[in-house]
Amino acid sequence: MIRAANLGFPRIGRTRELKKATEAYWAGESDAGQLAQIARALRHQNWREQADAGLSVIPSNDFSFYDQVLDTTAMLGAVPPRFSGGAGAQAPGTVDLDTYFAMARGTDDAPAMEMTKWFDTNYHYIVPEFHRDQQFHLASTKPIDEFEEAKAAGVHTRPVLLGPVTYLALGKAKESDLEPQDLLERVLPVYEEVLKRLAAAGADWVQIDEPRLALDLTDAERASFPAAYKRLAAAGPKLMLATYFDGLRDNTELAAQLPVDGLHVDLVRAPDQLESVLQALPGETVLSLGLIDGRNVWRADLSGLLPVVEQAKRALGADRLELAPSCSLLHTPIDLEMEDQLDAELKSWLAFAKQKLHELSALATAGNHGRDAARQAFDAADQAIRARRDSARVRDPKVRARTAAITEADKQRHSAFHERRKKQQKHLQLPKFPTTTIGSFPQTREVRRARGQFRRGEIDARQYEDFLKTTTEQAVRLQEELGLDVLVHGEFERTDMVEYFGEQLEGFAFTRHAWVQSFGSRYVRPPIIYGDVSRPEAMTVKWSAYAQSLTDKPVKGMLTGPVTIQQWSFVRDDQPRRETCHQIALAIRDEVQDLENAGIRLIQIDEPALREGLPLRRADWEGYLRWAVDAFRIASAGVADETQIHTHMCYAEFNDIMAWIAAMDADVISIETSRSAMELLDGFVDFRYPNEIGPGVWDIHSPRVPSSAEMRDLLSKAANVIDADQLWVNPDCGLKTRGWPEVEASLKNLVTAAREMRRAA
Ligand code: GLN
Ligand code: ZN
């Protein structure tokens, strides 16, 4: 029989119960017992939900209080030394809850472990830290406990573990001569022990995630896989080796030859790999087909998928087949039924985690007994797919004609940078080391309260607007007093840099409950791009023009770029991302034009997500960068030479894509560098960045106020690798999470630092 299987279910709860419970615990408003109780209820509900949906394979240990990579660190006892001596009463050898949270969030004495993005998702994991003398031991029995817990509730589960090779690859060695894979022999005994204990508890199968297999591997990683799995295969339970986020490509043989009992492949990201996987799969190995999109919200085309199931069934037989989501459903919202404000038509095109379980179940039924056995589900899916394809809300001929007509000239500023620069200098009359900020000013409690009151109808549009005007004017006055050279309006009217634009664009839908975990207790609610994107009217001109009307200093217009708007949304699956991105780019281009017409002389188009959109495989980078950089150029190139285009990115790790960053041809780019004391600028030594650049001199991630001497020191360092003429002076990022007192003090020092640099120059 073909089995419907799941790889992981969202753990946050339908009404964000986990967030509320953990935050209450952190705030000391509840105790560990209460937190554990809520966690248990969430797990039970998820198991029930999956059993009720008819799934044959239900995961356990997919729950986490914070992050599954951190769970693995806890399981392996790999607690960095700075957390083990703390105040928490820690039983020898085990990682208690407070140590666990301390690693994620830091304490007064020990900074938190680093956090970074999980592959190409917007989920963030806690980066393991490894030392040369690193030891591992079983320090958390969570996988076994949760298996037992499910068993006691009458649900037989397949526990999920993060595999050793990927786990090590995700970590960072603290010494430069240590390669994480060197530690493989030391982690394997702990994995073996966990597997043995799971077997003893009654687990026949264990899902072991090795998404690294879908990436370009180092030689060390390539060697680790056979070494690891030879040992783990002997530990007891059968292993379902799960790969996802891309195809196996050149690692197909490697994966198929590992001594495991099952292999899961992502057929959403890489549908073409089915043939080669079927061919490479040996003897009795079970194949899990990742057919339902675990990264997006669209309803599956069941009729389109059934032939794939049938093909695999012909090749392997039903008993060797499982149908699954492409990856864990962690990356999708939980239940579409809760969306009471989406219109019925749009809703019929969507499927969230719960709905995806039913899709899997229907597909398995049809695979086993024919389409008629799951007729209702198939008919409904057919109808929805057809309706979506033919809907006038999805395709806008005017938009399509416009993207089709984009020319090379549309991507090209009138003159080259050195020409534009002369004109801009004349037009803007800025001093050397010009000072500015990245856009947002503190979103204080008052700002959020006024927005809430307006949304609830407690104040009217007029009152809200008056509030925003007053706040904006105060920000402008303060910037004048501080002596900043290029002002901003402060972005008080915006909640979020994507939502603000999405709400004003055609083709976007917003949900009320569709939260997805970003990290720890932080969840996001990405917009859904469902149709061709266009801009009915100007989106930002009013606020920029208002701010400019208050001052003679130039006010910089502030936009979010097309790549970022798309990257932080659920994207269309019915056309290439490039197409949607260029539609958004044209909308932003119109906005840029309107800002210019309204007298705005500098316009910043933020692209903080450009780098995270990079494909996982190096071979795909160029294809992506070409359309992504094009999108920025389409958005920005319509202006006169005199108008200065800025961009901002929240990082500076682009040594490997520097030429592409330069190809965006922004007149000025601001980036984050202060935390690394300008070390990130090393890339600028090898590649001379041609345009102007503002390396952040103030780490806005902490409330600390840097002195002007510190900032001057950073600027001098920057001036070693970048021409002083090219340098701008600004913070690392926007100031929306900061408070006014530290903003005022820091900006004062920032202006002083710039003035001293000018004097010394
Ligand atoms: N302009 C935005 C701000 O200042 C940029 C934020 C970002 O890049 N993440 O808030
Ligand atoms: Zn930023």
List the chain domain ranges: 3-343
Q: Residue 637 pLDDT more than 60?
A: yes
Q: Alpha-carbon distance 291 to 305, whole Å?
A: 7
Q: Residue 745 pLDDT more than 90?
A: yes
pLDDT at 761 (0 to 100): 83
Ligand 1, residues 733, 736, 738, 743: which to mutate, most atoms within 8 A of Cβ?
733
pLDDT at 214 (0 to 100): 98
pLDDT at 86 (0 to 100): 45
What would you report as the CA-atom Rg of the chain, rounded to the nearest whole angstrom?
27
For residue 732, the ligand closest to its alpha carbon is 2
Label residue 92 by pLDDT band (50, 70, 90): low
DSSP tag of 248: -
Label residue 265 by pLDDT band (50, 70, 90): very high
Other CB atoms within 10 Å distance of the CB of residue 272? 10
Q: Higher pLDDT residue, 686 or 167?
A: 167
Beta carbons within 8 Å of 482's beta carbon, 6+ residues apart: 744, 747, 748, 751
131 is catalytic: no
For atom 1 of ligand 1, the residue with the nearest CA is 439
Ligand 1 atom closest to 560 (CA):
1
Label residue 90 by pLDDT band (50, 70, 90): very low
Q: What is the mean pLDDT of residues 110-126?
A: 93
For atom 8 of ligand 1, the residue with the nearest CA is 608
At 78, is the secondary structure helix, strand, or coil? coil
Q: Alpha-carbon distance 571 to 278, whole Å?
A: 30
Other CB atoms within 10 Å distance of the CB of residue 716? 14
pLDDT at 152 (0 to 100): 98
CA 383, distance to chain mean position in Å, is: 32
| Ligand 2 centre distance from Cα of residue 442 (Å) | 14
Ligand 1 atom closest to 736 (CA):
10
pLDDT at 675 (0 to 100): 83
pLDDT at 85 (0 to 100): 59
pLDDT at 719 (0 to 100): 94
Q: Alpha-carbon distance 671 to 646, whole Å?
A: 11
SS3 labels along 419-440: HHHHHHHHHHCCCCCCECCCCE
Q: Residue 87 pLDDT more than 70?
A: no
In whole angstroms, how far apart are CA 73 and each of 116, 128, 352, 497, 735? Answer: 15, 7, 30, 34, 33
Q: Alpha-carbon distance 26 to 100, whole Å?
A: 12
Q: Is 438 annotated in some ligand binding site?
A: yes
User: Which among 44, 137, 358, 701 is annotated as catalytic?
Assistant: 701
Label residue 478 by pLDDT band (50, 70, 90): very high
Q: Residue 179 pLDDT more than 50?
A: yes
Q: What is the mean pLDDT of residues 641-665?
A: 94
For residue 492, the ligand closest to its alpha carbon is 1
Query: Across the chain, what does the average pLDDT equal?
Result: 96
Task: State the number of CA atoms in the 13 A half-sphere of 243 facing the CB.
Answer: 27
SS3 labels along 597-656: HCCCCEEEEECCCCCCCCCCCHHHHHHHHHHHHHHHHHHHCCCCCCCEEEEECCCCCCHH
Residues in the chain: 761
| Ligand 1 centre distance from Cα of residue 559 (Å) | 9
Ligand 1 pocket by C-beta < 6 Å: which residues?
A: 438-440, 491, 497, 558, 606, 608, 648, 650, 733-734, 736
Q: Residue 679 pLDDT more than 90?
A: no
Q: Tell me the CATH architecture of domain 3-343.
A: Alpha-Beta Barrel (3.20)
Contact 139, 169 (CB under 8 A): no
Sign of the Cα pseudo-torsion (607, 611, 612, 614, in order): positive
Per-residue pLDDT reduced to its tens digit, 291-334: 999 999 999 999 999 999 999 999 999 999 999 999 999 999 99
| Ligand 2 centre distance from Cα of residue 545 (Å) | 23
